[in-house]
Structure 1
Amino acid sequence: GYGSNPVLFKPALTTAGFCLTFEDALSHFVATDGKDPGFAIKGWREVRCENTGVNFHGGTAMAMGKAFFTTPEGKQVALEYTFGYFLDPEGEVRINLHHISAPSISA
Structure 2
Amino acid sequence: MSDEPPSPPGNLPMDIVDALNEATPEELRDVARYADALAEHKEREVRLEEETDDADVEKQPDDLPDDVPSKATITIKEINDNRYYYWQWREGETVTSKYKGPVNPDE
TM-score by length of 2: 0.23
User: Higher strand share goes to which structure?
Assistant: 1
User: Higher helix share goes to which structure?
Assistant: 2
Larger relative contact order (Cα-Cα within 8 Å, sequence gap ≥ 6):
1
Higher Rg: 2
TM-score by length of 1: 0.23
